[in-house]
Structure 1
Amino acid sequence: MTQNNSLSGHWLIVSDLDGTLLDHYDYSHAAVDELLQQLEQRETPVILNSSKTFAEMLELRRELHNHHPFIVENGSAIFIPANYFPEKSGDAREQDGFWVIETGLPRAQLLEFLRADAEQFGTPYLSFAEASVDEIVEATGLAPERALAAQRRDYSEPLLWRGDEEEKQAFVARVRGAGMSTLQGGRFLHLLGSTDKGAATLRLLDCYRHCRDTEYRLIAAGDSPNDLDMLRVADIAVIIRAPHRPPPQLRARAGQRVMISEAVGPEGWREAIAQLFP
C-alpha cells in the first residue's frame, strides 16, 4: 500500500468487524487495541457497523472500550448512547440507555416472508431462526454464548445457503419483489429490509454534523461485498484483505480515495489506519 499523508480536520471511522477489526478465524482484536486507544485520544470516533446484533455489539464495544454509536444488522438500526448528542433525532425511540433509529424491518416481518416463500419454493438454506445453537457454532466458529447472542436478532435473518446459485438468484429476485433486500456476507446471505450499511452510515453522519455543528468527513473500512455500500459513501474507502478471497471490487467515485491493505484482517486495519493517523 502506498504511503499516505496524515489527515487534518474532523473524521469518523466506520468499520466492519469480522475480518476487519476482528480476526476472521479466532475473532481476536489484539492487533488493533493500541491504535484504537490512540484514536480515542485524538477524539476520532470509531463506529462499529456490522451484521451483528445489539447483544453482540454491546459485548464487543465493552471489549474494545468503545462508547460511540454503532450500527447493527447490516444497517437496519442505529444505536446512539443516550445524551451522546445534545438532542435526540425526532424519529428515534429509547431502549436500554440508547436512542434507536430504525432503518430496517422487524424480524417478524422477514420471517413471515420466509414462511410464505418456503411453502411454495422450499428452504434450500438454514436460517438462524430454525438453527440450533450447535449448528450456529459449527457455521460461525462462535462460542456457544456468542452464538446465542447472534441468534437474538431484531431486524434481519442470516441464511446459510445450501442450494445452488440458480436457486439463490431466484430467491433474491423474490425478495426484491417483496420490497426487501439481501446482502451476501462472508458466510451468510442476509435477509433484511430495504436498507444497507451505507444508508445507515450517512444517516449517522448527518447526526454528527447537525448535533456537533462540525463538517465531519468519513473513512470506511471493510473486507467483503456486503461492505461495499458503506465503502462507496466514504471519502476514504479502506479495503482490508481477506485470507481466502480477493478484495471486493470498488469503483472509486470522483474525489474518493481507495486504499487496499497488504496485510489481512486486523493487521491490515492497523496498517491502513495508522498511515492516515500516524
Structure 2
Amino acid sequence: MTQNNFIDGHWLIASDLDGTLLDHYDYSHAPVDELLRQLERRRVPVILNSSKTFPEMLELRRQLHNGHPFIVENGSAIFIPTGYFPEVPEGAREQRDFWIFETGLPREQLLTFLRGDAGEHGSPYLSFAAASCDEIAEATGLSPEQALAARSRDYSEPLLWRGSEGEKLAFEARVRASGMSTLQGGRFLHLLGPTDKGKATLQLLDCYRQYRDIDYRLIAAGDSPNDLDMLKVADIAVIVRAAHRPPPQLEEATRRRVIVSEAIGPAGWKETIGGLFS
C-alpha cells in the first residue's frame, strides 16, 4: 500500500457503500463509526455515492448520523438537504426536504427498453422489476424490508446476469446504441442513463466550491469497477480491497494519488482514510 501521509486543507470524501464503507456480506459499518464521528468534528463532509436507492440512503444516513448530500443509483440523482447551501443551486428542483439534480433517466424509460430488447433477443437475467422481494433478498443478503427499499428505484435497473459473456457484451452494445449505459457493480449489471458516479461527484463538488466559497479537494473511495469513474476524478483515490476479487485497476495520472488498502471492506476504509487524517 502507498504510504499514508497526513493531509491538510479542505477535503470532501465521496465514498461507495457496499464493500467499502459497509461490509460486503453483513452490511456492518461498525469499524468506521468512530472515524466518521472524528471526520464530522473536523468538518470533513462524507458524501455517500452508491447504487442504492433514495429510501435505502435515507436509512443508512440515519444509521451513520450523516447529514450531508448524497448520490443515488450510480450517479443518477444528487440529493442536497434543503438549506444545506445558502441558496438553491442553479438547475436543482425542490422536493420535500431536498434540492435534487436528476442526471439520469426515469426508470420507466429503461424498463421500456428492456421489454423491447427482451422481445427481440431474450432476457438472460433477472431484473429487479421482475423479481420478488424474496428473490432480491436471496440474491443480496438483504432483509425483506431492505429488499423492498432496494426495489424502489427511480433511475436505474439492476440485472442479475444469468447468460453468457457473449450475450452480455451484445446486450451492452445495444444499450449504448440506445443512448443509455451499463455499469458492472459488485453483484449486478446496472442499466442506467448517460451518467456515472464521477460526473455526479464533480457536479456536487462544484456546488461546494461555489456556495461555500472553499476550494475543496476530493478523496474518493471504492472497491469495484463501478467506482472507477468516481476514483478517476479524485485528487486522492482510495481503493478498498475486496475479499472475493482483485482491486479494480486505475490508470496512472500525474495529479492523482492512489492508495490501496491492506485490510478488506470497512476495515480498509478505516485504515486508509484514518491514515490520511490521523
TM-score band, normalised by shorter chain: over 0.9
2:93 aligned residue: 93
- Percent identity between the aligned chains? 76
Check whether the contact 2:85–2:212 (CA below 8 A) recurs between aligned residues.
Answer: yes
Comparing 82-91 and 43-52, the one that deviates more: 82-91
1:10 aligned residue: 10
Cα distance in 2, alignment partners of residues 13 and 120 from structure 1: 43
1:33 aligned residue: 33
SS in 2 for 1:51: coil
Cα distance in 1, alignment partners of residues 96 and 143 from structure 2: 25
Cα distance in 1, alignment partners of residues 232 and 11 from structure 2: 16
Which runs of 5 or more residues in structure 1 are unaligned? none
Give the alignment of 1:215-226 within 5 angstroms: 215-226=215-226
2:251 aligned residue: 251
1:105 aligned residue: 105
Cα distance in 2, alignment partners of residues 93 and 196 from structure 1: 20
Task: Give the C-alpha shift of residue 253 in structure 1.
Answer: 1.2
Render the CA deviation track for 1:73-95: whole Å, top value 9, x for unaligned: 00000000001001112221112
1:156 aligned residue: 156
Render the CA deviation track for 1:50-103: whole Å, top value 9, x for unaligned: 000000000000000000000000000000000100111222111220000000
Task: Give the C-alpha shift of residue 8 in structure 1.
Answer: 1.0
Residue type of the alignment partner of 1:233? V
Cα distance in 1, alignment partners of residues 3 and 120 from structure 2: 54
Task: Give the C-alpha shift of residue 182 in structure 1.
Answer: 0.3
Give the alignment of 1:6-155 within 5 angstroms: 6-155=6-155
Check whether the contact 1:232–1:252 (CA below 8 A) recurs between aligned residues.
Answer: no
Task: Give the C-alpha shift of residue 3 in structure 1.
Answer: 3.0
SS in 1 for 2:126: strand
1:241 aligned residue: 241
Which runs of 5 or more residues in structure 2 are unaligned? none
Residue type of the alignment partner of 1:159? L
Cα distance in 2, alignment partners of residues 2 and 157 from structure 1: 36
Check whether the contact 2:2–2:258 (CA below 8 A) recurs between aligned residues.
Answer: no
Cα distance in 1, alignment partners of residues 9 and 102 from structure 2: 30
Task: Give the C-alpha shift of residue 6 in structure 1.
Answer: 1.0
Render the CA deviation track for 1:205-259: whole Å, top value 9, x for unaligned: 0000000111000000000000000000000000000000000000121121000
The normalised TM-score by structure 1 is 0.99
SS in 2 for 1:60: helix
Cα distance in 1, alignment partners of residues 85 and 261 from structure 2: 33
Cα distance in 2, alignment partners of residues 95 and 156 from structure 1: 20
Residue type of the alignment partner of 2:192? L
SS in 2 for 1:119: helix
Check whether the contact 2:14–2:48 (CA below 8 A) recurs between aligned residues.
Answer: yes
Cα distance in 2, alignment partners of residues 211 and 134 from structure 1: 44
Render the CA deviation track for 1:89-118: whole Å, top value 9, x for unaligned: 222111220000000000010000001111
SS in 2 for 1:94: strand
SS in 2 for 1:179: coil
CA RMSD of aligned residues (A): 0.6
Give the alignment of 1:157-236 within 5 angstroms: 157-236=157-236
SS in 1 for 2:13: strand
Render the CA deviation track for 1:98-154: whole Å, top value 9, x for unaligned: 000000000010000001111100110000000001100010000000000000000
Residue type of the alignment partner of 1:12? L
Residue type of the alignment partner of 2:40? E
Check whether the contact 2:158–2:189 (CA below 8 A) recurs between aligned residues.
Answer: yes
